[in-house]
Amino acid sequence: MDEIYLSPESYIFIKKMSDTINENLILVISDLHLADGTGTDDFGDFGVTSARETSLINFIESYHPGKIIANGDIYELFQVKMKKIRIAHPKMLNFLENDNRVELLVGNHDYKINGKMNFKFTTKNNKYGLITHGFEVDKCMKNSISRFFSWILGGIEKLIPNIDNFFARKKFFNQTLQNKVRDYAIKKFEKGYDIVICAHCHVPKYENFNGKIYANSGACQEGRLEGVLINTDTGIVQLIP
């Protein structure tokens, strides 16, 4: 392996960055749906993508987390190939793949990516936590038929951008999904978890069930900056921003 030379200036910068990181903080983001920069791309098209990537990275860094959990549906692999995503989102891919604080969890839209299904943690006050995308609530999302229709939808989105999000925001569809994910989290409480963080329904949520916490990380797309911050020192969970 080639030796990497760091100038004194670079070393000082890296040292300052490491000094500000809080190892007790876990930041959870999800549902970027990075695609090819066309209408299939819920994160943003080529006109705004770079600025949105910078905003998201700055948003993450502003909390100085020791761990960053990318909680599924980071990529839109139902509709486009990873090669095209790399071309459209080089800045975001560089951050996700090269920052050693980032751990990628698999969602239904990035099922082809090698990654874990969940991340478990324990707080210093002995609370047991689980972070998972939560797409298991939608059995249809895991079969080839649903992936085929999602691919068809990707073609439609090139002509009518964000049509999927238009319908997804309708109360009938989204409230049903929110309830499914919420019920999924409650069942995890029965398995001994005290904190359960999900994603999937694109709506940030925080609920306290007699000391058991369910939170949803919402989505970071279309300029939205949402997530969940967990302090493993105190056990406090909060929605951000």
pLDDT score recorded for residue 13 = 41
For 125-152, the pLDDT digits (tens) are 999 999 999 988 876 555 555 555 554 5
Four-residue CA torsion sign, 165, 169, 173, 178: positive
Decide: 70 and 29 in contact? Cβ < 8 Å: yes
In 5-137, beta strands by DSSP E: 22-29, 65-71, 102-105, 118-122, 128-132
SS3 of residue 170 by DSSP: coil
pLDDT score recorded for residue 8 = 42
Q: How, if at all, do strands 118-122 and 102-105 pair? A: unpaired
Task: Cis check for the bond before 90: say yes or no (omega within 30 of 0).
Answer: no
The pTM (predicted TM-score) of the whole model is 0.82
Decide: 62 and 102 in contact? Cβ < 8 Å: no
SS3 of residue 45 by DSSP: coil
CATH number of 22-240: 3.40.50.300, 3.40.1190.20, 3.40.50.920, 3.60.21.50? 3.60.21.50
Domain ranges of the chain: 22-240
The mean pLDDT values, 10 residues at a time, for the chain of 241 residues are 39 49 96 89 83 95 97 90 93 96 92 85 97 83 53 52 54 78 96 97 95 97 95 96 85
Q: How many residues does the chain have?
A: 241
For 149-177, the pLDDT digits (tens) are 554 554 555 555 565 555 555 555 578 88
**Cα 31 from Cα 18, distance rounded (Å):** 27
Contacts 24+ apart (CB under 8 A), 159-162: 159/39, 160/39, 161/38, 161/39, 161/45, 162/39, 162/42, 162/222
